[in-house]
Amino acid sequence: MISPLLNYIRSTQVWNSIFRHGIPRDRRTRVMAVMSNVFLHLHPVAVRKSGIRLSFTWCMGGLTFFLFLAEAISGVLLMFYYRPVVEYAYADIQALRSYVTLGLLREIHRWGAHAMIIAIWLHMMRVFLTGSYKPPREFNWGVGVILLVITMLLSFTGYLLPWDQLAIWAITVGSNMGKATPFLGTGGPLSDMLAIGGVPLVTARSDAAYLLLANTSVGENTLMRFYVLHCIALPLAAATLIAVHFWRIRKDGGISGPL
Amino acid sequence: MLSSMITLAAAAGSSNLEWFKELVNRFSVPEISLPLFFLPLFVLLLVAYKVWTRPLFAGTLLVLFCVFYFGSMAIDENYRAIVMKPDNVPITMMLLGVGFCLWWGFRQAAINDERIKAGQPLIEEDKDDKVLVWPDLVYTELICMVIAATVLIVWSVLLPAPLESPANPAGPPNPSKAPWYFLGLQEMLVYFDPWMAGVVLPGMIITGLIAMPYIDTNPKGNGYYTFAQRKFAITVWLFGFLILWVVLIVFGTFLRGPNWNFFGPFQYWDAHLQVPLTNVNLSELFWGDLLDRPLPANPYVREIVGIVFVFLWICVLPYALARTVMRKMYEQLGSVRFYVMAIHLVVMAMLPLKMVLRWTMHLKYFVNLPEINLNL
Ligand code: HEM
């Protein structure tokens, strides 16, 4: 009953216009399945057996990527309900729980973010323990480090958006450190040295923390700044670098293995 | 249901375990637990990796850890409150994840190292080398994705995301904490000023990580698990990650209460606890205790010992290392690689150094120049 139906579907023009190969059951069609699909095409057609063993990669890079996608999707859905303005932000978050059907969006987004941090650390640990940063993969390790920083910044900027006590004070603790930047923060060492004719260049309204917060303390402008960073700038940067990361994995000869 | 079981067990257990809690509380202060527990544990992890990674042994360790970690929730409400705090739940996951992955990696390293010694092929070396991505890889990825999605959804159903009272710029909670993954840095604030803990040290973590592949010129251990062939690199890196990052996160989240005072895991977070601040600067120790003279008026003269010490530590020590104990490494790496490595190494070592001096001599700053906001 089912299989004639499937066979019929596979013989239609619509199906064949999407999938230009038969069922991936033999070598040729399996190669085609990977080659003719833009997403699967991230992969080479064949890979070394040791590289794809779960015990080798722990699937942690893949998991990080999966969580990134989960964050992107749940994040877009959250953007439908959330307004990054001090008057509404907190109430919008509260409303998510009570009014939105299957109100799990925020949970998925928040715990997914924590999970992504854990996964990326473990991914880095596995790359380190297998010595996979060694030539020819030095550069891709560097790309990874920047991805690590972006991932932590994504979590950090997102932490502010619920606009509750937890949020603003956690961000205050973090951004206070910006005030202490050497030379560039008002409270930082040697910042007095940057002055022209006795007029200080680095003040509370022009220092590194001000750049981050758009204010001298966490306030209205900070919320907008973090929102834009969190929803636009950082995800775009991450997506771009992930593309570079994946491209380089292939160009560097696929997942590492004994030489 | 779960919580009522815990409360029941709590009632049964609490009465006669006071001595145990007291012991753990006393033992967990950083000056005891870091040198006498975490450091030896770290050394054992590396020295005895062929022993503890045996499945039976590792399984026993896991059970012991769980009994201690989760069992303690039944006997103490302070500890339970900390571990069950929604934003702390990921820390438990992180600890289990790091522990499990350490085992997984070191288990394979142990096997590989035995094989290398015996001249056999590595685990990663396969005779019939290549397999097709479809189905072998694609299916693995699919299964991982389904499992991950399930875990994430179950986690989200069980644990609501926290939302505290609306932001109040006038009323900071005590303690105010950064998100847990940054707490290693916040914990460093105990020992360093923000410009170090918040800017210089994280900056050097990033530059150090990026520089690492160019510094580590050891051609062995590329693409397979091993410890024997990369002892130095693995020891330094894991010391940084496990001790100076993960353990400090645990201290910062679980054991720091109001006013950033230290509290044992089974201790009530008393906001009124007064801890006298008795830390002194190196200049005070030098001019006052050693020479018995008043502090000089000129700040740079006053701080001269500290300035000289920091100069020696950061500029001269790498040079001295290149000339003595690390001479061979210096010759192998060449000067640029060696000094990039050595400067990162001595700056990283400043953290444990400062910890030890704080615990033994109550040292506050090597250099204390409030005149230019420079305290180190
Ligand atoms: C958004 C973050 C990241 C994503 C999505 C990601 C994804 C991946 C994936 C899917 C792989 C294939 C093998 C595997 O799964 O282990 C990989 C490999 C690799 N990753 Fe990442 N990664 C990320 C961050 C990092 C970080 C933080 C580092 C290091 C600091 C890093 C360094 C590397 C290197 C060197 C490889 C090649 C390993 C090999 O060939 O064995 N990546 N990454």
Tens-level pLDDT at each residue, chain B (376 residues): 455 555 555 555 555 688 889 999 999 999 999 999 999 999 999 999 999 999 999 999 999 999 999 999 999 999 999 999 999 999 999 999 999 999 999 999 999 999 999 999 999 887 567 888 888 888 889 999 999 999 999 999 999 999 999 999 888 888 889 999 999 999 999 999 999 999 999 999 999 999 999 999 999 999 999 999 999 999 999 999 999 999 999 999 999 999 999 999 999 998 888 888 789 999 999 998 899 888 899 999 999 999 999 999 999 999 999 999 999 999 999 999 999 999 999 999 999 999 999 999 999 999 999 888 888 8
By the CB < 8 Å criterion, does A47 face chain B? yes
Residues paired with residue A195 on neighbouring β-strands, in sequence order: A200
Chain A interface, mutation test: which of B107, B140, B373, B376, most A Cβ atoms within 10 Å? B373
The helix (H) or strand (E) run that includes residue B335 is helix B335-361
Please tell me the distance between residue B226's alpha carbon and the centre of ligand 1 in angstroms: 19
pLDDT band at A217 (very low <50, low <70, confident <90, very high): confident
By the CB < 8 Å criterion, does B156 face chain A? yes
Taking CA–CA distances from A118, the nearest residue in chain B reads B94
3-state SS class at B252? helix
Please tell me the distance between residue B319's alpha carbon and the centre of ligand 1 in angstroms: 35
Domains of chain A: 1-34 (no CATH), 57-251 (1.20.810.10)
Show which of residues 100-139 on chain B sit within 8 Å of chain A, judged by CB atoms: 101-102, 104-106, 108-109, 122-126, 128-138
Helix-then-strand count for chain B, H and E: 20, 3
By the CB < 8 Å criterion, does B355 face chain A? no
pLDDT of residue A50: 79
Question: Which residue lies with its CA nearest to atom 13 of ligand 1?
Answer: A61
CB contact under 8 A, A133 and B212: yes
Please tell me the distance between residue B116's alpha carbon and the centre of ligand 1 in angstroms: 27
Q: Does residue B23 sit in the same domain as residue B104?
A: yes
Share the mean pLDDT of chain A. Answer: 90
pLDDT of residue B328: 94
CB contact under 8 A, B163 and A192: no
The helix (H) or strand (E) run that includes residue B165 is none
pLDDT of residue B127: 58
* Sign of the dihedral through C-alpha A187, A192, A195, A197: positive
By the CB < 8 Å criterion, does B93 face chain A? yes
Chain A residues touching residue B105 (CB < 8 angstroms): 125-126, 129-130
Chain A residues touching residue B303 (CB < 8 angstroms): none
DSSP state of A195: E
On whether residue B213 sits in a domain, the answer given is no
**Mean pLDDT value across residues A198-227:** 87
By the CB < 8 Å criterion, does A52 face chain B? yes
On whether residue B61 sits in a domain, the answer given is yes
On whether residue B369 sits in a domain, the answer given is yes
| Min Cα–Cα distance to chain B from A51, Å | 8
By the CB < 8 Å criterion, does B260 face chain A? no
On whether residue B206 sits in a domain, the answer given is no
Q: Which residues of B107-117 are buried (b: 16+ CB within 10 A; e: fewer)?
A: bbbbbbbebbe
Q: Does residue B37 sit in the same domain as residue B77?
A: yes
Which residue from A200, A198, A199 is spatially nearest to A184, judged by alpha carbons? A200
Q: Does residue B256 sit in the same domain as residue B344?
A: no
Phi, psi angle pair for B173, to nearest 5°: -70, 155
On whether residue B71 sits in a domain, the answer given is yes
Residue that wins the pLDDT comparison between A132 and A216: A132
pLDDT of residue B28: 93
CB contact under 8 A, B186 and A162: no
Rounded CA-CA distance A66/B297 in Å is 61
**Lowest-confidence segment of A13-17, A34-38, B190-194, B348-352 by average pLDDT:** A34-38
Q: Does residue B62 sit in the same domain as residue B12?
A: yes
Residues paired with residue B369 on neighbouring β-strands, in sequence order: B374
Q: Does residue B229 sit in the same domain as residue B354?
A: no
Which residue from B68, B67, B76, B70 is spatially nearest to B11, judged by alpha carbons? B76
On whether residue B368 sits in a domain, the answer given is yes
pLDDT of residue A43: 84
Inter-axis angle of helices B77-84 and B55-75, to 10 degrees?
110
pTM: 0.93
Q: Does residue B288 sit in the same domain as residue B255?
A: no
* Number of compact structural domains in chain B: 2
Chain B residues touching residue A192 (CB < 8 angstroms): 372-373
Name every residue whose Cβ is closer than 8 Å to that of residue A84 and which is 6 or more positions away in sequence.
A161, A223, A224, A227
| Min Cα–Cα distance to chain B from A234, Å | 18
Rounded CA-CA distance A24/A33 in Å is 7
Q: Does residue B369 sit in the same domain as residue B230?
A: no
Q: Does residue B232 sit in the same domain as residue B361?
A: no
pLDDT band at A208 (very low <50, low <70, confident <90, very high): confident
Q: Which domain holds residue B77?
A: 2-127+224-260
- Judge contact between A29 and A21, C-beta under 8 A: yes
Inter-axis angle of helices A105-129 and B89-118, to 10 degrees?
20
Tokens of B159: 């644990």
Rounded CA-CA distance B177/A159 in Å is 12
pLDDT of residue B1: 47
Checking if the pLDDT of A196 tops 90, the result is no
CB contact under 8 A, B161 and A182: no
Question: Which residue lies with its CA nearest to atom 8 of ligand 1?
Answer: A61
Q: Does residue B32 sit in the same domain as residue B117?
A: yes
On whether residue B135 sits in a domain, the answer given is no
- Give all strands (DSSP E) within chain B, no chain letters: 130-132, 368-369, 374-375
Show which of residues 125-144 on chain A sit within 8 Å of chain B, judged by CB atoms: 125-126, 128-135, 137-138, 141-142
pLDDT of residue A211: 87
Which residue from B213, B232, B251 is spatially nearest to B351, judged by alpha carbons? B251
* Among the partner residues A137, A145, A179, nearest to B209 by beta-carbon distance: A145
Rounded CA-CA distance A173/B178 in Å is 6
3-state SS class at A40? helix
On whether residue B146 sits in a domain, the answer given is no
Judge if the beta carbon of residue A127 lies within 6 A of ligand 1: yes
Q: Which residue type occupies B327? A: R
pLDDT of residue A97: 79
Q: Does residue B296 sit in the same domain as residue B326?
A: yes
Q: Does residue B11 sit in the same domain as residue B105?
A: yes
- Judge contact between A111 and B161, C-beta under 8 A: yes
Q: Which residue type occupies B365? A: Y
* Among the partner residues A142, A163, A185, nearest to B167 by beta-carbon distance: A163
ipTM at complex level: 0.93
Pocket test for ligand 1, best of A54, A242, A249, A259 (most atoms within 8 A of CB): A249
Please tell me the distance between residue A61's alpha carbon and the centre of ligand 1 in angstroms: 5
Written as one string, the DSSP assignment of B51-74 is HHTSHHHHHHHHHHHHHHHHHHHH
By the CB < 8 Å criterion, does A87 face chain B? no
- Judge contact between B359 and B36, C-beta under 8 A: no
Show which of residues 201-230 on chain B sit within 8 Å of chain A, judged by CB atoms: 206, 209-210, 212-214, 216, 218-226, 230
CB contact under 8 A, B179 and A170: yes
Judge if the beta carbon of residue A68 lies within 6 A of ligand 1: yes
3-state SS class at B175? coil
Q: Does residue B256 sit in the same domain as residue B339?
A: no
